[in-house]
Amino acid sequence: MTENQKNQVQWLTITQRNAGQRLDNFLLATLKGVPKSHIYRIVRKGEVRVNKGRAKVHVKLQLNDLVRIPPIRTAEKMAIPKLHPEVKARLTASILFENKHFLILNKPAGMAVHGGSGVSLGVIEAIRQIRPEAKEWELAHRLDKDTSGCLMIAKRRSGLRMLQALQRENKIQKTYLALLNGCWKQKKQQVNAPLQKNQAQGGQRIVRIDSQGQNAKTLFFNEQSFPDATLVRARLVTGRTHQIRVHSASILKHAILGDYKYGDENANKIFKKKGLNRMFLHAYQLKFAWADTDEIISVNAPLDRNLHTLLNNLKK
């Protein structure tokens, strides 16, 4: 979409390429560089219309749907900077698996998966700069900015639909590694506690345990105990926002170290002196059967140097 088009009302007809896509993802791809917060705002205010009616951001677009896009204030558009050569080299080296449908990379901690809401360059924008053919590539799921590890990016609409269907049916096994504060003495524990998104003071998003929230289930396994920390393997049965972070802090009563939203402030300070300069949450493994061939895809993402060094020091 050109700058001139962004200053006019646009009516776009959904083609086969976009059929089945969520409205928010369609708008993010169409209005490249516009903050996600602004896109959600114009949908919430009814400025975006689907078939001349109001729509929610999660609505699935259908073939031949007519989408109204209002004029976009260019002042709110974020310029996408040119990718630094070092970041380009790091992301290129982080690709763990690739086929014609999708790729899986080891996302660095501290890098958002997409631009918007104060972030000018995310993983998906960076990949589109690295690969000339990647203009239509889309995120198949998301990781928090401070979480590292396996991230799936679909290369084509058919691949995106398959990955999304596998996730809806809980057929992708997602396993994380997390270092918890204190000594968690259980060998394993199943946590089944519904989660509700809330807004804290200052507009910061907080997720809480709430009986009215969405069903959320996590399996925790004790991998290794240290005097003042516990390395756990966490397997997601559902994939809710901040699920592992909230379940570990609120149910296990052992928060993830380096988590400044749900964690223990004093423990975070102590472990920062020990060398932990980020949240210790890592998407370690993705495992699933690909729908077309029944090929079992199993991808492991190695821990970054900071986390690996910390564990070695704790062992000593």
Question: What's the rounded mean pLDDT across residues 92-118?
Answer: 88
Q: How far is Cα 196 from Cα 213, in angstroms, rounded to an integer?
A: 4
At residue 79, the pLDDT reads: 55
CATH of domain 3-72: 3.10.290.10
Adjacent-strand bridge partners of 152:
104
- Delimit the domains of the chain by residue range: 3-72, 85-166, 172-315
Give the active site residues: 144
Do the domains 172-315 and 85-166 match in fold?
Answer: yes
Per-residue pLDDT reduced to its tens digit, 276-290: 999 999 999 999 998
Decide: 147 and 281 in contact? Cβ < 8 Å.
yes
Residue among 241, 285, 238 nearest 106 (CA): 285
Contacts of 80 (CB under 8 A, 6+ apart): 32, 33, 115, 120, 121, 125
Q: How far is Cα 211 from Cα 186, in angstroms, rounded to an integer?
A: 25
| DSSP per-residue string spanning 77-111 | PPP-PPPPHHHHHHHHHTEEEE-SSEEEEEEPTT-
At residue 77, the pLDDT reads: 46
Q: Over 80: is that where the pLDDT of 82 sits?
A: no
Q: How far is Cα 67 from Cα 46, in angstroms, rounded to an integer?
A: 12
CB hemisphere CA count around 206 (13 angstroms)? 16
Q: Over 70: is that where the pLDDT of 132 sits?
A: yes
| DSSP per-residue string spanning 26-64 | HHHHHSTTS-HHHHHHHHHTT-SEETTEE--TTPBP-TT
Strand, coil or helix: 285: strand
CATH of domain 85-166: 3.30.2350.10
Q: Strands (DSSP E) along 124-277, which ranges?
A: 138-139, 148-154, 173-181, 188-192, 195-199, 205-209, 217-225, 229-236
* Prediction pTM value: 0.77
Q: Which two tokens stand for residue 183?
A: 């000594």
Q: What percent of the chain has pLDDT over 70?
A: 91
Decide: 246 and 195 in contact? Cβ < 8 Å.
yes
Question: What's the rounded mean pLDDT across residues 214-230?
Answer: 96
296 band by pLDDT with thresholds 50, 70 and 90: very high
Decide: 209 and 251 in contact? Cβ < 8 Å.
yes
Pick the CATH number of 172-315 from 3.30.2350.10, 3.90.1300.10, 3.40.50.11860, 3.20.20.210: 3.30.2350.10
| DSSP per-residue string spanning 108-142 | PTT--SS-BTTBS--HHHHHHHH-TT-TT-EESS-
